[in-house]
Amino acid sequence: MAWTGLEINTLAILPLISKSHHPRAIEASTKYFLIQATASTLLLFSSMLNAWFTGQWDITQLTHPLSCMLLTVAISMKLGLVPFHFWFPEVLQGSSLMTSLLLATIMKFPPTILLFLTSPSLNPTLLSMMAIASAALGGWMGLNQTQIRKIMAFSSISHLGWMTIILIYSPKLTLITFYLYSLTTAAIFFTLDTTNTLKLSTLMAAWSKIPSLTAALMLTLLSLAGLPPLTGFLPKWLIIQELTKQELTTTATIIALLSLLGLFFYLRLAYCATITLPPNPANHMKQWHINKSVNTLT
């Protein structure tokens, strides 16, 4: 049933990705289909392998080590965790803003629920390594991006690292973090769609058009960065607190420091949205006037 639900989920989004009939959209839909089909195959194979060795088909009660590892890899591919993240920024870049919103939030909900249900069967060491790598790479790769959709893609990868690191110890906290992330990301994408913003250079001109909406966008970006006292700070604080309770102080320190990378490019987005105004060439062009009283030689 889990495999069937994930396949229906994949087939439902493919027409939305490729609806513009642009070559980049077709490429994005092809990449998405291939990755999701591979992940679904691994998911089915892990269940079959566990049934072969133990006689148990229940995917939430895997006991064979190889089956647990394959399940971890399959769900990581579905979500876009490092090192299976390479497809996600490219797919978002080839999709429209509203389709990108679906890919970054609603389409991640079924794999996240599956991750929640199968958390006792997952490989904790492999999961923790991928979580820290996702938080690091998501923040690092987002630093030099100028395309808004790619920045939001790496933001999603970074937040997935936070959700995954706490999954083994507090699965409910993972769901709370995912809900808050989805709401904040939805607010950002709706604002970007309203202002028709796809690049940082376009974002710079948004303040002069809709200042109130751009100010709200700045607060939402800072909340997504986890800056206190905004809403996005609460789940990150709870995750660090829970990791400290589990005597994982080193892990908590590492992931807290890695969040500074994400904070930098969120601040850059907020700076471009509210403080920076692009120069208007029309205001700096020298006006040339033709002198009508021209003396002519007769």
Q: What is the pLDDT of residue 273?
A: 67
3-state secondary structure of 35: helix
Name the strand (E) or helix (H) holding 151: helix 148-165
Closest among 239, 218, 236, 217 to 228, alpha carbons compared: 236
Quick check: 157 pLDDT over 60? yes
Quick check: 114 pLDDT over 80? yes
Q: Write the DSSP symbol of residue 119.
A: G
Q: Percent of the chain beyond pLDDT 70?
A: 89
The four Cα atoms 83, 84, 89, 92 give a dihedral, to 10 degrees, of: -160
d(CA 51, CA 16): 36
* Structural domain spans, the chain: 2-278
Quick check: 188 pLDDT over 60? yes
The average pLDDT across 156-182 equals 89
Contact at 8 Å (CB) between 32 and 91?
Answer: yes
d(CA 284, CA 281): 5
The average pLDDT across 276-291 equals 48
List, for residues 17-63, the tens digit of each pLDDT value: 888 778 888 888 889 999 888 888 888 888 888 788 777 777 777 77
List, for residues 221-277, the tens digit of each pLDDT value: 888 888 888 888 899 999 999 989 988 888 889 888 888 887 887 887 777 766 655
- Higher confidence at residue 122 or residue 25? 25
Structure tokens at 146: 């100028």
The overall longest dimension of the chain from CA atoms, in Å, is 111
Backbone angles phi, psi at 44, to 5 degrees: -65, -40
